[in-house]
């Protein structure tokens, strides 16, 4: 017996197109940031306090933006991988079914509502 489902079927092809478009936009922005040669030397910004400080701070802000873009990109990549694996719509952490309404609102969801809330609480920032 196949599992019966009273949820309307998700349009996985439309979701894949949406995720791929999102990935292309975000990865373009991330590689644009990464290509800046100054980015790698930002750790030494404390050496010279002076006219370079404001510039250094704005660089750090850019790095922060790059990191959040990157984590969004990782989620999008993971959602695409799940489409390939056939596990799309199944929570990566506990294996529960992610409600179709949540997937429609956030196609890059790889966790159920409860696990996503836990993940946000456990890992507000990377160390």
Q: Which residues of the shown chain bind Zn ion in the complex (CB under 5 A)?
A: 91, 93-94, 96, 112, 115
Q: Of 29 and 102, which has the nearer Cβ to Zn ion?
A: 102
- Judged by beta carbon, residue 79 or residue 112, the one nearer Zn ion is 112
Total length of the chain: 127
Three-state secondary structure string covering 16-58: HHHHHHHHHHHHHHHHHHHCCHHHHHHHHHHCCCCCCHHHHHH
Longest Cα–Cα distance of the chain, Å, equals 72
Q: In angstroms, give the least distance from the CB of 90 to Zn ion.
A: 9
> CB-wise, 69 or 91, nearer to Zn ion?
91
Pick 81 or 94: Cβ nearer Zn ion: 94
CB of 1 to Zn ion, least distance (A): 25
CB 96 within 8 A of CB 90: yes
From the CB of 116, what's the least distance to Zn ion, in Å? 8
Q: How many CB atoms lie within 10 A of CB 74?
A: 13
């Amino acid at each position: 017996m196949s599992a019966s489902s009273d949820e309307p079927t998700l349009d996985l092809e439309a979701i894949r197109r949406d995720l791929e478009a999102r990935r292309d936009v975000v990865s373009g922005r991330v590689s644009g940031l990464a290509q800046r040669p100054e980015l790698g030397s930002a750790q030494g910004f404390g050496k010279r306090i002076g006219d370079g400080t404001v510039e250094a701070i704005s660089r750090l802000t850019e790095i922060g933006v790059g990191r959040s873009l990157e984590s969004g990109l990782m989620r999008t990549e993971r959602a695409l991988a799940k489409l390939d694996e056939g596990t799309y719509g199944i929570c990566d952490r506990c294996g529960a079914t992610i409600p179709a309404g949540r997937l429609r609102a956030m196609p890059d969801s790889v966790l159920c509502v409860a696990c996503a809330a836990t993940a946000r609480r456990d890992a507000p920032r990377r160390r």
